[in-house]
Structure 1
Amino acid sequence: MNTLADLANVQLAEGMDLLILGGTALLGQAIAQAALDRGHAVTCLARGSSSAPKGATFISADRDDDDGLASVASRSWAAVIDVSRQPGQVRRPVRDLSTQHWVFISSGNVYADFSTVEQDENAPLRPPLQGEVMEAMLTYGEAKVACENAVRASNSSATIVRSGLIGGRVIGRAGPGNGHGDLPIPLGMTSSSLTTPTSHARSSTCAILLYGSSPPPSSTSIQRSTPQARPSPSTR
């Protein structure tokens, strides 16, 4: 199992062509900005409800359409980074896109049992969601498991990042100062929730970009398995 401590010796590639499926909301936007700061060429594909960071190429497309990725399917990408929670949205890029490496942002909610902290990659998971669409947040963990399975089925190497709750600054949302707003860590823990690891979106990009930029020889996961509350949709 690879841990965050293992990242210290990873050598970064430079000037890569990265595709971020999303890239305009909280985590996707932070990843896009961090990649730009490292000198990578960044393309963000999203519906266009928010803006991509300055310097990124923005492509407006609806991932729910079966041919929604046609505009980026003719290129070969160094890495594709996906933050979706919808299985259908994840299966389509695996089917349609060409990339050397996948990075999928999953969640600690994939674990079947929250009574044990710091579980490893062999811990039991929830059953994968059946179908293409997650209809309610109550099946968020199951949906992420289905997304993970889709990424693992690709012919390229893959990194799956099982994150905790993420908070931070969201550009272009209602909030103090020029449309910027701080998205707090979601509250409203359920009665079964235990201690929740939290992180800022900017710090979460470290492991994502390191492994996305320097793919390991086989699929790997970066994870913290401490139980957590169901995140709000805006955290992705």
Structure 2
Amino acid sequence: MSPTSLAGRLMPDRKLGPIVDVIFNGRGALTPPSKSLNRLWLVEQMVPFDAKLCRSHVFDIEMKSDPDAKPYVDAVPTHPVNIEEYDRLWVPPTGVATAATCATAPAQASGFETGGLSLQQAAALVAQARNAFALASRPRKITVRCKGQKGACGSNPRQTLASIDWSALGSVEQVNPRGEPYYVGDRKPADAPWGPAHVQFTFPYAAAGATWMVTVDRKPAIAAARMDAQWAIYE
């Protein structure tokens, strides 16, 4: 059946948009092949979130077999027992979010994670960074430091920062002053009324195959940006 029909079968009580991608048991190289379906993800088509960002619902569905099934005979997962929903935002290359531009988002790899931030807060941080990084007629006073192999920083790091493809953004998250993420159990400082002081933007494979990790210091305007091109493998 089609992805949208599958979503209707698994979640008949939900009003859904078109489903553009289905992930069975995970997609990474570390996921072994299987004839049994234990978990799947359904990705809804992107729609406008605000004037410049698109939004998609993703459904993480855990499957179980019928309680009356006979083990080793017909104990195949047949119905969902737990459904978790989360949202992803995406920056269309045109910079304008419309139904048409949002629908062009790549089905399998579009949208960024918000790292525990609300969608509104993540959207505001992205908008601030895009404005701060852009090369305007009156350049903003931002200190830019860059580190990367194979000439990733270019001859002008400020220009390199301005040319980053925001549609490749993979995540936005609050980090500590050293640019390191907070883990479960870590004590986070209280945010100022204008939000976190240190935020990291991750762009997988956007640095000529490496990943751009761009960490900004906010006061609340962005005063400094640290760019680091890191090599990583994503599963």
TM-score, scaled to structure 2: 0.22
* Greater RCO (CA < 8 Å, at least 6 residues apart): 1
Q: Which structure has the highest strand share of the two?
A: 2
Richer in helix (by share):
1
Q: Given the two structures, how large is their TM-score scaled by the length of structure 1? A: 0.22
Higher gyration radius (CA) = 2
